[in-house]
Copies of this chain bind each other. A is one copy, B any other.
Amino acid sequence: MLKRYFPILTWGREYNRATLEADLIAAIIVTIMLIPQSLAYALLAGLPPEVGLYASISPLVIYALLGTSRPLAVGPVAVVSLMTATAVGDLAAKGTPEYLGAAIALAFISGIMLLVMGLLRLGFITSFLSHPVIAGFISASGILIAAGQLKHFLGIKVPGKTIPEVAEGIWANIHQINIPTVLISIFAIGFLYWSRKGLKPVLIKRGLTERLASVLVRAAPVVAVIVTILVTWALGLENWGVKVVGEVPEGLPAPTLPPFDPALWGQLFVPALLISIIGYVETISVAQTLAAKKRQRIDPDQELVALGGSNIAASISGGFPVTGGFARSVVNFEAGAATPAAGAFTAIGMAVATFTLTPALYFLPQATLAATIFVAVLTLVDLGAIKRIFTYSPGDAMAMVATIVVTLLDGVDVGIATGVILSIGLHLWRSSRPHVAELGQVPGTEHFRNIRRHRVETAPGVLSLRVDESLWFPNARFIEEMIYDRIAADKSIKHVVLNCPAINHIDSSALEALEQVNEQLKDAGVRLHLSEVKGPVMDRLTRSDLITHLSGQIYLTHFDALATLAPETTRDCADLSRCETHR
């Protein structure tokens, strides 16, 4: 039991010198990658840069105690930082203590939610986000984030989060553009973009292994950070209008509790839920992908607990919402992290950074951090997915496009809500019109097939129907109408046989519909039969009135039904003795 909630008790016992070495190397690499990222995502969330550092220490320690994924690295990530900025920006002005307090409360509420969901095993809630909706939301968030960095590149002030707001803001303030800032931005974006594509081949040419090269490429942002700090300091660019990070408090803040203001908590409830769900979906996807590669297991419910604990820890140490990051987890994995202890060592690295590096960050241009974000989030944008999904399912693609468009035009909350409603509506609509085949017998066999697709024989007076969908409330009325229409159209029908091998479930609405059909057909002189009802479905039906009131029979096979109801047309069965034994 204790081992379930504290996976460290399992992997900790096998800990040895080899795993320690592997974890230490991974931790050093991830720390180098994480320093600029955590500063950048704090900027994206509208928070002071040191908050990003705080959010990259205690959550990693807690995750090391509670997490079931070995390479997962938690901390601030782009999409959740954007969602934080949106949620908190609605409640307080940037730079105020209220803004920071709301962000800390957001992490706390989200942590509690995740923890409760984990302990109550409610992880399935996240399944209601369909893939096209998540993909669309992530792409749109990437575009929103990238667009939000333009102001940092130009050195102007632009309020607003949605694309129309950003476009309008840039248009209105374009005359205040700051040339040194633009130059730094061009260098940083260019260098980072090149390092993603061109640096790796260069490193491999110099004799590095491919794995080491791909890991080192991840350290490129640190190079950009160092170069731009030095240039800004040497040329005194902060006096030429280049915005720098400025004073960053040294060391760690004392643990505090978030503000317990019921009104604030009420306003943060829905954003915290969305952040929890989106954050968890991102975490679990990464964790699962990396675990499957090594045939390791993760426990999705325990991951909720671990992520919840990480967010509470982030909150208490003055940070904002965190989640499992894709890029840094992959780096951790590729750098050879063997256990979650790598995360704890990374936390130590980050803590050392807050004590030693903060003075050096004074001259770091905000444009460099914006460039780090810009280049990172462009990988989130995958508009080609629309076309891929459209080829397979135009409806799903439409849900994705709607999510993207609404997110870009109206923000993240409305965007994700639109996507969820659309995808559930779409599915209900699909299941409301199931495929129904009228069946006929393949001559000389016991097989029955769709009369529209095969050469088959039907028995006069008997209507055989196969519904290719579970029966439940969205299609209950459809089934009823369909059967009534058939018997009204052909007055010779005396028996309706529902062939049920594709019916995995019958809910009580559909049961009511079948009872109605049974009664109405009885009045109209038609009997209702079922055939090939699955075991679990039959188990439930025996607890209902339908079985006792059914005007017809339930047959094990459809052939049995036809052999009984229309023996003269089914007598040409190849092997009658076998047919008999089936009954």
Residues of A within 8 A of B (CB): 124, 126-132, 284, 288-289, 291-297, 300, 388-389, 391-393, 396-397, 423-424, 427-430, 432-435, 453, 468-470, 472-478, 480-481, 484-485, 487-489, 491, 501-502, 504-505, 507-509, 511-513, 516-517, 520-521, 523-524, 534-536, 540, 543-545
What's the minimum C-beta distance from A144 to chain B, rounded to whole angstroms?
23
**By the criterion CB–CB under 8 Å, are A481 and B511 in contact?**
no
How far is A26 from B392 in the complex, measured between Cα atoms in Å?
55
B293, A523: Cβ atoms closer than 8 Å? yes
Ranked 4 nearest A-B pairs via Cβ: A292-B520, A131-B509, A130-B473, A396-B508
A428 to B545, CA, bound (A): 26
CA distance A293 to B524 in the complex (A): 5
Q: Are A132 and B509 in contact (CB under 8 A)?
A: yes
Contacts of A509 in B (CB 8 A): 130-132, 396
Instruction: Determine whether the beta carbon of B297 is less than 8 Å from that of A484.
Output: yes
Number of copies: 2
Interchain nearest-CB distance for A70 vs B (Å): 12
Bound complex: CA of A435 vs CA of B520, how far in Å? 33
* Chain B contacts for A487, CB-based, 8 A: 292, 295
Is B477 touching A520 in the complex (CB atoms < 8 A)?
no
A297/B127 in contact, CB under 8 A: no
Q: Which of B391, B396, B475, B521 is in CB contact (< 8 Å) with A127?
A: B475
Give Cα A128–Cα B487 distance, bound, in whole angstroms.
Answer: 25
| A480-B392 contact given A128-B428, A430-B505, CB 8 Å threshold | no
Contact B524 A292, beta carbon cutoff 8 Å: yes
Is A473 touching B434 in the complex (CB atoms < 8 A)? no
Most chain B beta-carbon contacts within 10 A, residue among A127, A433, A521: A127
Nearest-neighbour CB distance to chain B for A258, whole angstroms, equals: 30
For residue A501, which residue of chain B has the nearest CB?
B501
Q: How far is the CA of A473 from the CA of B422 in the complex (A)?
A: 13
Task: Indicate if the CB atoms of B507 and A393 lie closer than 8 Å.
Answer: yes
Q: Which residues of B contact A288 (CB under 8 A)?
A: 480-481, 484, 516, 520
8 Å CB contact of A473 from B388, B427, B521: B427
